[in-house]
């Protein structure tokens, strides 16, 4: 495609882990061109200095400090910022009529009271919540295609919702338990004691007991009441969500997943229990499920790459739909293994 026909894209949070992944995927995208990059502490630095692995694709780009005027001539905005930051800029982006895909949690929940309950602060722009479609294409494709703004789902909710949504007629949603483990990139790039090598290496621990904010997203999409426990696994990328619920009766949840995702470009259903390494670097979700006649319960499992299907890949999949591009443009279906 000629440069003039490229979609000039602004990336807010370009210096973070998700920003890096957006740039990696955009380098293989036929239409999305990263025209302006924004960051905070890295503002002023060249992209090769911030993300050396991207140097050959973008030798001349520089990370800037964001100002609204920078959106002139921009056709698409991706934001991968810490929670709360998108509330200050969303109205301006929407007023300019620029398609906007946000990955923060600011516009994922559909009501302000729920946001305040789980994020411990009032929502600054509750009137905008209804303008965002929830960004998981496999469960909300038509709304995303018609939307000007999409709130891409959180990484854990993406995995759990993909595993459970097709099973809602088979299980009691009041009995759902989700145990999910994430790679350490899920916590972002900044140095923290909890994600330091000596803390994480050879270690495995649960966190956020009874209080993780992703519970609200899962309940919004699945209904019922969900007990969610996240775990930090000693790996760089990947999420494995193992989900349990009481079955309404004998059922075939594997067949239900296979039927729901037949023809989906990024969902693979199989009898084999998914592994995170099967999806690394790809936008794929690998899924399985079983009914246990002994306990009357269902177990459903999903593996995704938190930085791709759980973040940057899902953002690009949503943008492809919004812009009328091929849904799979720029997105790998195969993982890096071993």
Ligand X SMILES: CC(=O)N[C@@H](CCC(=O)OP(=O)(O)O)C(=O)O
Ligand Y SMILES: NC(=O)C1=CN([C@@H]2O[C@H](COP(=O)(O)OP(=O)(O)OC[C@H]3O[C@@H](n4cnc5c(N)ncnc54)[C@H](OP(=O)(O)O)[C@@H]3O)[C@@H](O)[C@H]2O)C=CC1
Active site residues: 155
* Alpha-carbon span 195 to 188, nearest angstrom: 9
Q: What is the distance between the alpha carbons of residues 97 and 76, in angstroms, rounded to a whole number? A: 10
CA distance 117 to 216: 9
Do 50 and 15 form a contact (C-beta atoms < 8 A)? yes
Secondary element (H or E) of residue 88: helix 86-95
Q: Cα torsion for 69, 75, 80, 86, to the nearest 10°?
A: 50
Taking CB under 6 A as the criterion, the residue among 32, 79, 232, 308 binding ligand X is 232
> Between residue 140 and residue 169, which ones bind ligand X under the rule CB under 6 A?
154-155
Tell me how far, at minimum, the Cβ of 214 lies from ligand X, in Å: 6
Q: Give least dist CB 241 to ligand X, A.
A: 12
Q: Any idea which residue has 């195969």 for tokens?
A: 334
137 Cβ contact list (under 8 Å, min separation 6): 144, 314, 317, 318, 321, 327
Positive or negative: CA dihedral 331, 149, 95, 129: negative
Nearer to ligand X, 215 or 288 (CB): 215
Q: Does 319 bind ligand X (CB under 6 A)?
A: no
Half-sphere exposure of 111 (CA within 13 A, CB side): 7
Q: Of these, 36, 42, 213, 214, which contacts ligand Y (CB under 6 A)?
A: 42
Decide whether 12 or 298 has the Cβ nearer to ligand Y. Answer: 12
**Residues of this chain, 83-112, that bind ligand X according to CB under 6 A:** 105
Q: Which does 230 bind (CB under 5 to 8 A by kind): ligand X, ligand Y, none?
A: ligand X
Which of ligand X, ligand Y, none is residue 318 near (CB under 5 to 8 Å by kind)? none
By CB under 6 A, which span of 34-42, 108-116, 118-126, 168-176 interacts with ligand Y?
A: 34-42
Residue 157 within binding range of ligand Y, rule CB under 6 A? no
* Best CA proximity match to 137, nearest among 336, 284, 293, 317: 317
Instruction: Determine which residue in the list 140, 282, 306, 317 makes contact with ligand Y, applying CB under 6 A.
Output: 306
The yes or no reply on residue 182 touching ligand X (CB under 6 A) is yes
By CB under 6 A, residue 230 contacts ligand X:
yes
Regarding 187 and contact with ligand X (CB under 6 A), the answer is: yes
Provide the mask over 63-92, with x wherever binding to ligand Y is found by CB under 6 A and - wherever it is not: -----------------xxxx-x-------
> 238: Cβ–Cβ under 8 A, 6 or more apart, which residues?
182, 183, 276, 277, 279, 280, 303, 304, 305, 306
Spell out the residues 6+ positions from residue 243 whose beta carbon is closer than 8 angstroms to its own: 160, 163, 164, 176, 177, 178, 179, 299, 300, 301, 302
Contact residue for ligand Y among 189, 246, 277, 290 (CB under 6 A) = 189
Of positions 99, 157, 166, 186, contacts ligand Y by CB under 6 A: 186
- Binding segment for ligand Y (CB under 6 A), chosen from 37-45, 91-99, 139-147, 197-205, is 37-45
- Residues making contact with ligand X (CB under 6 A): 105, 154-155, 182, 186-187, 230, 232
């Amino acid at each position: 495609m000629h440069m003039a026909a490229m979609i000039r894209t602004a990336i807010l949070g370009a210096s973070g882990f998700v920003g890096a992944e957006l740039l990696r995927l955009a380098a293989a995208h036929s239409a999305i061109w990263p025209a302006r990059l924004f960051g905070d502490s890295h503002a002023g630095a060249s992209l090769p200095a911030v993300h050396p692995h991207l140097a050959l694709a973008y030798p001349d780009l520089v990370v800037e400090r964001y100002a609204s005027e920078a959106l002139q001539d921009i056709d698409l905005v991706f934001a991968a910022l810490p929670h709360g930051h998108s509330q200050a800029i969303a109205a301006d982006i929407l007023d300019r009529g620029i398609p906007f895909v946000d990955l923060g949690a600011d516009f994922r929940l559909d009501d302000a009271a729920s946001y305040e309950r789980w994020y411990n602060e009032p929502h600054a722009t509750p009137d905008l919540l209804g303008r965002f479609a929830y960004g998981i294409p496999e469960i909300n494709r038509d709304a995303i295609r018609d939307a000007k703004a999409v709130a891409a789902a959180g990484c854990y909710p993406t995995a759990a919702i993909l595993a459970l949504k097709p099973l809602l007629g088979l299980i009691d949603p009041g009995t759902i338990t989700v145990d999910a483990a994430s790679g350490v990139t899920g916590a972002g790039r900044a140095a923290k004691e909890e994600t330091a090598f000596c803390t994480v290496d050879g270690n495995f621990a649960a966190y956020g007991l009874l209080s993780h904010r992703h519970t609200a997203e899962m309940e919004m999409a699945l209904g019922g009441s969900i007990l969610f426990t996240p775990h930090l696994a000693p790996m760089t990328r990947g999420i494995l969500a193992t989900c349990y619920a009481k079955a309404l009766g004998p059922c075939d949840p594997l067949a239900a997943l296979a039927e729901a995702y037949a023809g989906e470009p990024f969902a693979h259903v199989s009898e084999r229990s998914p592994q995170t390494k099967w999806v690394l670097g790809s936008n794929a979700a690998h899924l399985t499920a079983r009914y246990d006649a002994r306990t009357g319960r269902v177990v459903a499992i999903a593996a995704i790459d938190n930085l791709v299907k759980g973040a940057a890949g899902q953002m690009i999949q949503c943008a492809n739909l919004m812009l009328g591009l091929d849904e799979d443009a720029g997105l790998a279906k195969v993982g890096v293994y071993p």
